[in-house]
């Protein structure tokens, strides 16, 4: 505990070390007007060659020299989102409320201290707040985290074996591939993070990461600490798309989690997830993203045998034209209560991006078809519309939401038809820093929900503003 407090104090000190006597570094591209791109994972940004132009006051906090060997970059982000649901959970049993609106806000500040360009300390602190939320679950861990350390890691870089090595030790956010299985959950207010280590080797074509971590659950008003009963480890390899070949992800993920219950089977959940993903351009305006994974292991004394498949194909008639897309998502469910487990566990997913923005359905026991269109109208406005159809893969298993929470119990319906969701979204991008977004979802419940006593249709609306520094 004492060591953990020291780490927090050190990280906060690193974030607050500016202002210091600094001069802006002269990089190789000092006269290049191009600017580094902002990244969701701010540690992935590279400001080492930035020396203007300074278009915003926060630009002065980038690539500052505190000595000939030390460079500091400071940044942050702010986001506010209003959400409103009606018919939440399709009409949960009384006395739970199914209609409410609430405000989510968050602020992040980070400092990136580089030493000799081959070592660095990265620290990020956060506060995530939420007004009262009367829906089931109240103000959840994904909504509120009063003040805490989101990331604090040491990184060492070196070259060898025909590429570059990167070792990170400490608290860090993880994001792999299309984020279907491992994501920091950018849609969430408080974000996910892990304690542990990761070693990455990469060259111009390949990137391979081995890691061992423990998940850090949100304690809302207390300091967050890693959960030793919730481990995630693995090996994730990516071959980037080449001129004539698709990109490839190949991975092995191991998870060990506290006793959990799947359709009547309870015990410590130990799984191996083995997966393959292909992605990139097919030519003639078509693009592809296809991923499949199988799971084996044990839940208590019961065996695990589960799998998932995801496919999205898109097409543009010409560059800048509307993109049309169609998708299929399948994740296995259990065919009987108790005994062996066939329910796919999506681990730490970004379901919001693939199974509807209302987050009513998750990647477990589901068959989902989707079609949609997205268009950038000009440099500011863009829009997206999508329609989803959902079925239970097996009506003897539950309907799970995006967070893995059962909405209706297995066996409570004879129909597999869950329903249909329409999503609409509009985004106004002011510049590379600031954007505004509005979204609306309508979920028309099917026979499975009605038979289970959930006979209300669900609507979801949000307004969001965000900026980065």
Chain centroid to CA 313:
21
The CA-atom distances, in angstroms, between 104 and each of 359, 380, 441 are 16, 24, 18
pTM of this structure: 0.92
- pLDDT number for residue 96: 77
- Sorted by where each begins, the domain ranges of the chain are 276-461
Query: Which DSSP string corresponds to 282-330?
Result: EETTEEEEEEEEEEEEEETTEEEEEEEEEEEEEEESSTTSPEEEEEEEE
- pLDDT number for residue 35: 83
Alpha-carbon gap, residue 172 to 42, rounded angstroms:
11
The fold for domain 276-461 equals: Porin (2.40.160)
Contact 224, 200 (CB under 8 A): no
Q: Radius of gyration of the chain from Cα atoms?
A: 23
Find all residues with CB under 8 Å of 331, minimum gap 6, and list them.
306, 307, 308, 309, 344, 346, 363, 364, 365, 366, 393
The CA-atom distances, in angstroms, between 110 and each of 27, 41, 237 are 22, 11, 28
Return the structure tokens found at 398.
């539950």
Element (H, E) at 434: none
Query: Which DSSP string corresponds to 45-65?
Result: ---TT------SGGGGGSSEE
Tokens 């026991």 sit on residue? 365
- pLDDT number for residue 243: 87
The CA-atom distances, in angstroms, between 381 and each of 226, 316, 372 are 41, 18, 18
Nearest to 38 by CA among 378, 380, 431: 431
- pLDDT number for residue 95: 73
Alpha-carbon gap, residue 312 to 319, rounded angstroms:
19
Alpha-carbon gap, residue 195 to 278, rounded angstroms:
29
Q: How many CB atoms lie within 10 A of CB 430?
A: 11
Helix (DSSP H) and strand (DSSP E) numbers for the chain: 2, 22
Alpha-carbon gap, residue 229 to 387, rounded angstroms:
38
Tokens 């780490």 sit on residue? 7
Contact 428, 434 (CB under 8 A): no
Alpha-carbon gap, residue 201 to 45, rounded angstroms:
18
Nearest to 188 by CA among 167, 199, 173: 173
Return the structure tokens found at 87.
């018919």
Tokens 């959950």 sit on residue? 185
Contact 295, 332 (CB under 8 A): no
pLDDT 10s digits, 198-244:
999 999 999 999 999 999 999 999 999 999 999 999 999 999 999 88
- pLDDT number for residue 29: 35
pLDDT < 70 positions in the chain: 1-34
- pLDDT number for residue 27: 39
């Amino acid at each position: 505990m004492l060591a953990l407090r020291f780490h927090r104090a050190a990280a906060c000190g690193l974030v607050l070390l500016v202002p210091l006597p600094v001069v802006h570094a002269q990089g190789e591209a000092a006269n290049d007007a191009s600017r580094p791109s902002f990244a969701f994972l701010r540690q992935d940004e590279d400001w080492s060659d930035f020396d203007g132009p300074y278009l915003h006051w926060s630009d002065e906090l980038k690539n500052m020299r505190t000595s000939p060997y030390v460079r500091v970059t400071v940044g942050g982000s702010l986001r506010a989102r209003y959400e409103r649901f009606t018919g939440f959970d399709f009409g949960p049993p009384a006395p739970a409320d199914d209609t409410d609106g609430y405000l989510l806000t968050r602020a992040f500040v980070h400092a990136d201290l580089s030493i000799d360009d081959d070592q660095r300390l990265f620290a990020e602190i956060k506060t995530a707040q939420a007004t009262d939320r009367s829906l089931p679950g109240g103000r959840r861990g994904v909504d509120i985290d009063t003040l805490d350390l989101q990331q604090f890691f040491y990184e060492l870089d070196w070259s060898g074996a025909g590429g570059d090595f990167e070792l990170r030790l400490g608290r860090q956010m993880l994001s792999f591939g299309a984020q279907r299985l491992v994501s920091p959950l950018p849609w969430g207010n408080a974000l996910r993070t892990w304690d542990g280590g990761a070693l990455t080797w990469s060259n111009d074509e390949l990137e391979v990461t081995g890691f061992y971590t423990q998940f850090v659950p949100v304690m809302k008003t207390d300091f967050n600490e890693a959960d030793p009963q919730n481990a995630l480890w693995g090996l994730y390899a990516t071959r980037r798309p080449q001129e004539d070949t698709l990109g490839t992800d190949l991975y092995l993920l191991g998870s060990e989690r506290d006793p959990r219950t799947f359709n009547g089977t309870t015990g410590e959940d130990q799984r191996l997830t083995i997966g393959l993903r292909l992605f990139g351009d097919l030519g003639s305006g078509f693009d592809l993203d296809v991923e499949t994974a199988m799971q084996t292991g044990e839940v208590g004394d019961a065996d695990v045998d589960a799998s998932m498949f995801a496919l999205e194909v898109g097409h543009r008639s010409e560059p800048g034209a509307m993109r049309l897309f169609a998708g299929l998502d399948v994740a296995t469910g259990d065919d009987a209560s108790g005994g062996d487990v066939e329910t796919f566990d999506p681990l730490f997913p970004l379901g919001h991006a693939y199974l509807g923005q209302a987050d009513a359905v998750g990647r477990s026991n589901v068959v989902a078809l989707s079609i949609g269109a997205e268009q950038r109208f000009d440099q500011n406005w863009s829009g997206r519309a999508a329609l989803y159809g959902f079925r239970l893969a097996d009506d003897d298993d539950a309907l799970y939401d995006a967070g893995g929470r059962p909405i209706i119990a297995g066996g409570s319906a004879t129909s597999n038809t869950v329903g249909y969701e329409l999503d609409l979204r509009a985004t106004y991008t002011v510049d590379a820093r600031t954007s505004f977004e509005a979204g609306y979802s309508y979920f028309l419940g099917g026979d499975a929900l009605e038979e289970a006593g959930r006979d209300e249709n669900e609507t979801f609306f949000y307004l969001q503003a965000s900026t980065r520094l």
